[in-house]
Chains A and B, each alone.
Chain A
Amino acid sequence: MIDIAWSSFTPWTALAGGVLVGLAAASFLLLNGRIAGISGILGGLLTPSAGDIGWRIAFLAGLIGAPALWALAAKLPPIEIEAGYPALIIAGLLVGIGTRYGSGCTSGHGVCGLSRLSPRSLAATLSFMFAGFVTVFIIRHVLGV
């Protein structure tokens, strides 16, 4: 049986935030003609070619600058990072290698790919969702960390 965490479940802000993410991907596609896949936008900077750098840096600057701009108007919601430094380093390496090897992450395959009804992106999304569920199950319920 699944126990819902009613005290932390936030359907309305989740839906509203999701719509904003969708609008971001939509404006990126309609204005620039590109898929808003964050791992690809960042990873492309490691093998830079002329004329292909500015828009990547601008998108990432927006993403990184969003909390600062938000903080000017309202209090930022809490960011709780329970993982320790060794775990963060291992997680970072896996996310970096995995997203590039699999050509996308939650934004490119998850949001944009599912929106395009791409079977390839559905397969990728099922893969990382499955691995995420299993990993958290092992960490929290088998190892009991």
Chain B
Amino acid sequence: MKSAVASLFAGLLFGFGLIVSGMANPEKVLGFLDIAGLWDPSLAFVMGGAVIVGLVTFTFARKRTLSFLGFDMKVPGHTHIDKRLIVGGLLFGIGWGIAGFCPGPGLVALGAGEVKAMVFVASMVAGMGIFEILERRKAAFRFAEH
């Protein structure tokens, strides 16, 4: 229950940040990605503002084993850079460039009642479902091999 309340709070704050920054608007995101046209550097300032706060927080949190609410700190420890990471990033980037939506802003625009955002999010969830099916097939195939 405590973690749900904290999650709701963080989600709201995240959403407000995307609204204030203009990043819930795909045209503004595409204005950043269109470096050969009239370039809008705003997205870099959003990342900058977020990372400055993040750097301080993660440096502080590194020393902790439990969160303030008493949960284990689940910070990923992977360091390997593999094909999955790069190919996944490239596929995501192509989709991002086509519509100007990444997952967060897509959900915020959906919450604002935008029908087009609902279509994007439905398709994104379908894409995540396809990923799960492919992963399960691969795991079953590996199991059958042994």
Q: Tally A-B pairs: CB < 8 A.
A: 505
Q: How far apart are the CA atoms of A29 and B132 in the complex, in Å?
A: 26
Determine which of A22, A24, A30 lies in contact with B51 in the assembled complex, contact meaning CB atoms within 8 Å: A22
Determine which of B99, B108, B125 lies in contact with A88 in the assembled complex, contact meaning CB atoms within 8 Å: B99
How many interface residues does A have (CB within 8 Å)? 114
Q: Binding site of A, secondary structure by majority: helix, strand, loop or mixed?
A: helix
Q: How far apart are the CA atoms of A32 and B47 in the complex, in Å?
A: 22
Q: How far apart are the CA atoms of A117 and B3 in the complex, in Å?
A: 26
Q: By the criterion CB–CB under 8 Å, are B11 and A62 in contact?
A: yes
Which B residues form the contact surface with A (CB < 8 A)? 1, 3-28, 30-31, 33-43, 45-58, 61, 66-69, 71-76, 78-81, 84-104, 106-114, 116-117, 119-132
- Some 19 contacts from A to B, beta carbons below 8 A apart, are A9-B40, A11-B42, A18-B52, A20-B13, A27-B13, A30-B67, A39-B128, A66-B108, A67-B111, A68-B111, A83-B116, A92-B99, A92-B126, A94-B91, A97-B88, A103-B84, A114-B51, A131-B89, A132-B96
Q: Top 3 nearest A-B pairs by Cβ distance?
A: A96-B127, A102-B88, A62-B11
